[in-house]
Amino acid sequence: MPATPTSLIAETLSLLDRFGVDKDRHLAGTLTSRSPVTGETLAARSPVTGETLTQVREAGAVEAAQVIDQAHQAFLQWRLVPAPRRGELLRLFGEVLRSHKAALGRLVSIEAGKIISEGLGEVQEMIDICDFAVGLSRQLHGLTIATERAEHRMMETWHPLGVTGIISAFNFPVAVWAWNAALALVAGNAVVWKPSEKTPLTALAVDALFARAMERFRADGGTAPEGLSGLLIGGRAVGEMLVDHRHVPLVSATGSTAMGRAVGPRLASRFARAILELGGNNAAIVAPTADLDLALRGIAFAAMGTAGQRCTSLRRLFIHDSLYDSFVPRLKQAYATVPVGNPLVESSLVGPLIDRQAFEAQQAALADAVAAGGVLSGGGRVESGFGPDAYYVRPALVEIAGQHGPVEKETFAPILYVMRYSDFDAALTQHNAVPQGLSSSIFTNDIREAETFLSVRGSDCGIANVNIGPSGAEIGGAFGGEKETGGGRESGSDAWKAYMRRATNTVNYGRTLPLAQGVRFDI
Ligand code: UN1
């Protein structure tokens, strides 16, 4: 049954109640909102139907400054809580998320247009990073280093940094916040979040759920200072306040390369740190020995999944000459038949584009690709039954001779540029010849090719996979990319170090004062 617009509004409001969102405080323009609205509001819409669900209050400059100041005060207390106790807060948050997984996943699907299993998967990713953070809370350790001086000890200690600003994008409206927040909080930082203007409701939901974890933590005797996790709903202006605030020593920003170009230099100008996770233009190579059934599935998920709106989505495909003519028709068949439609219906695999702007960018890229000699299959608008403001498209496959024009850019839509190759080294060169460097993969059973792809002269990306598409990373690894992708690393491995500052400590436990490098200074 297609969801009707009215039922989506009603369902969304009842979901917000379930999470404990204070609707009177945050929403305007719904029948349930009693308080008069002051200040600016933001339309929260669903790409599923194109309908405006409600209006959300934006934070003004005064409120934004208060939220950041309060987070700073909270940090001053939170840093004193032992790290394993801080981990306990994340453990409780993971429990709250587990018990709200279905509801939050559903809201992600409603607000971001993800299919049901991807909405749920996103909440699972939040739960996973909470678990990771609990373990990490007992492993924030530094090294002990051999010193050249007798009766000395040298070691390093990791300390929290302060308020961590988190700027996130619509396509992972909750998980990207969680990757950053879980690590930042366990590290002893406070967090302030500026979510995408396109997904304010999931942000309000997560904020309310985190508040529940804080309450449980306090009920167990824990110190969880008010304002430890702040939320700033709004546009560029509040984002800039976060980026420019002297009490925000680190901003982790996920979004376009254009956004990163604006944010990076501003942070650098005040010597604040940046974790930038920007555009990707991810490729895969299908080599002669590839398992083609597996490759087909991997490519289909990576290129069409999330309607091509992951930063790790597959956008360029290099297929070896020996399989090109047999494999491309199979791919085209998958493209022509993949179920596109209402993401809330279990059978759909490709949901809507986020909005009209995304649709126009998709259409413009396809027109450019055709003008550049590309041969297009698919890409047209799919009638959803939801009216003109819901933008569903058939995923597009473009066969093209070389990498120029739109092939070099990231278009946040399901467009796959397919190219033929004959020489592996030449394919590698082409693979690395775009400005972005997030994720990559090769489908091969030839160990030389696989290892070369992962080697220093192979993929130049932050993520390089074998026999798996470029998207769908687990939280255990460090996530991020090179070149115009920004160089930041989030999530697993030792990405936590970016959220902390390192102090090198030398202790003299003797009675003499030998100087390093044999320097003499006898007074
Ligand atoms: C993003 O699109 O911003 O690897 C993040 C993946 C997901 C995260 C993507 N785990 O596809």
Q: What three-state secondary structure class fits 353?
A: strand
**Any residues with Cβ below 6 Å from ligand 1, and which?**
171-172, 176, 254, 310-312, 471-473
Report the relative pairing of strands 375-377 and 396-399 from DSSP bridges. antiparallel
The CA distance from 272 to 512, in Å, is 39
Each residue of 436-495: pLDDT tens digit?
A: 999 999 999 999 999 999 999 999 999 999 999 999 999 999 999 999 999 999 999 999
Q: Could you list the active site residues?
A: 277, 311
How high does pLDDT run on average in the chain?
96
Report which ligand 1 atom has the smallest distance to the Cα of 311: 2
In order of their start, the domains of the chain are 67-278+486-502 (3.40.605.10), 282-474 (3.40.309.10)
Expressed in angstroms and rounded, the spacing between residue 3 Cα and the centre of ligand 1 is 27
Tokens linked to 252: 């982790």
Q: Best of 309, 310, 438, 491 to mutate for ligand 1, by most ligand atoms within 8 A of CB?
A: 310
Residue ID of nearest Cα to ligand 1 atom 7 = 472
Calculate how far, in angstroms, residue 473's C-alpha sits from the geometric centre of ligand 1: 6
Taking the CB of residue 266, how many other CB atoms lie within 10 A of it? 14
For residue 7, the model assigns a pLDDT of 80
CA 55 to ligand 1 centroid distance, Å:
28
- Residues ≥6 apart with Cβ < 8 Å to 234: 40, 42, 58, 59, 64, 194, 197
Cβ-proximal residues to 274 (8 Å cutoff; 6+ apart), any chain: 250, 251, 252, 253, 263, 264, 267, 268, 486, 488
Among 108, 166, 172, name the best residue to mutate to test ligand 1's pocket (greatest count of ligand atoms within 8 A of Cβ): 172
The candidate with the shortest Cα–Cα distance to 58, out of 197, 211, 243, is: 197
User: Which residue has its alpha carbon closest to ligand 1 atom 1?
Assistant: 311
- Are 491 and 252 a contacting pair, CB within 8 Å? no
- The Cα–Cα gap between 355 and 138 comes to 43
- Closest atom of ligand 1 to 309 CA is 2
Q: Using an 8 Å Cβ cutoff, are 230 and 202 in contact?
A: no
The span from the CA of 248 to the CA of 242, in Å, is 7
Residue ID of nearest Cα to ligand 1 atom 6: 472
The string over 79-110, giving b where at least 16 C-beta atoms fall within 10 Å of a residue's C-beta and e elsewhere, is bebebeebbbbbbbbbebbeebbebbbbbbbb
CA of 175 from ligand 1 middle (Å) equals 9
Compute the distance between CA of residue 493 and CA of residue 468 in angstroms, rounded to an integer: 20
Mean pLDDT value of segment 122-143: 98
Tokens of 73: 């005060």
pLDDT digits (tens, 9 = 90+) for 482-520: 999 999 999 999 999 999 999 999 999 999 999 999 999
Q: How far is the CA of 111 from the centre of ligand 1 (A)?
A: 17
The predicted pLDDT at position 4 comes to: 53
**Residue 170 gets which letter from DSSP?**
T
Nearest CA to ligand 1 atom 3: 311
The alpha helices in 338-457, defined as continuous H runs, are 356-371, 424-431, 447-454
Task: Measure the CA–CA gap between 287 and 300, rounded to whole angstroms.
Answer: 17
- Kindly state the DSSP code that residue 223 receives in the 8-state scheme: -
CA distance 259 to 264: 8
Label residue 37 by pLDDT band (50, 70, 90): very low
Q: Which two tokens stand for residue 336?
A: 């022509």
Q: Which residue has the higher pLDDT, 41 or 38?
A: 41
10 Å CB burial of residue 198 (0-12, 13-18, 19+) is buried
d(CA 169, CA 179): 13
> Could you tell me the distance, in angstroms and rounded to a whole number, from the CA of residue 373 to the centre of ligand 1?
31
The residues, ordered by sequence, that sit 6+ positions from 328 with a Cβ below 8 Å of its Cβ are 319, 399, 418
Ligand 1 centroid to 34 CA: how many Å? 38
- Find the DSSP H helices in 113-256: 116-136, 175-186, 200-219, 236-244
Q: What angle do CA 235, 241, 247 make, to 5 degrees?
A: 145
Our CA angle for 192, 197, 199, nearest 5°, is: 90
Cβ pair 190, 228 in contact under 8 A: yes
| pLDDT computed for residue 149 by the predictor | 98
How far apart CA 351 and CA 343 sit, in angstroms, is 5
pLDDT at 131: 98
**Ligand 1 atom with minimal separation from the 439 CA:** 4
382-410 per-position pLDDT tens digit: 998 998 999 999 999 999 999 999 999 99
CA of 137 to the centre of ligand 1 (A): 24
pLDDT at 39: 66
Q: Which two tokens stand for residue 376?
A: 């297009």
| DSSP 3-state of 286 | strand
Q: Which residue among 115, 127, 306, 311 has the greatest number of ligand 1 atoms within 8 angstroms of its CB, and so is best to mutate?
A: 311
349 pLDDT above the threshold of 90: yes
Question: Is 276 strand, coil or helix?
Answer: strand
Q: Report which residue type is found at 81.
A: V
The gap between the terminal CA atoms of the chain, to the nearest Å, is 88
Residue 32 pLDDT > 70, yes or no?
no
DSSP 73-87: HHHHHHTTS-HHHHH
Q: Give the span between the Cα atoms of 213 and 4, in whole angstroms.
A: 34
Token pair in block for residue 2: 């297609």
Q: Tell me the pLDDT tens digit for each residue of 178-233.
A: 999 999 999 999 999 999 999 999 999 999 999 999 999 999 999 999 999 999 99
pTM for this entry: 0.96
In 3D space, the residue among 462, 473, 463, 475 whose CA is nearest the CA of residue 179 turns out to be 475
Closest C-alpha among 376, 387, 395 to residue 300: 395
The pair of three-digit structure tokens given for residue 271, joined into one six-digit string: 């010597």
Q: How far is the CA of 58 from the centre of ligand 1 (A)?
A: 27
Which is it for strands 163-167 and 250-254: parallel, antiparallel or unpaired?
A: parallel
DSSP secondary structure letters along 2-48: PPPHHHHHHHHHHHHHHHT--HHHHEESSTT--SPP-S-EEEEE-TT
> Which atom of ligand 1 is found nearest the CA of 312?
11
CB within 8 A of 269, min separation 6: which ones? none
Alpha helices in 396-499 (DSSP H): 424-431, 447-454
CA distance 408 to 134: 40
Residues 312-330 pLDDT 10s: 999 999 999 999 999 999 9
CA of residue 450 to ligand 1 center, whole Å: 23
Q: Name the DSSP letter for residue 154.
A: E
Q: For residue 125, give Cα distances in angstroms to 268, 297, 328.
A: 31, 22, 33
Sheet with 52-57, side-by-side order of all strands: 27-28, 52-57, 41-45
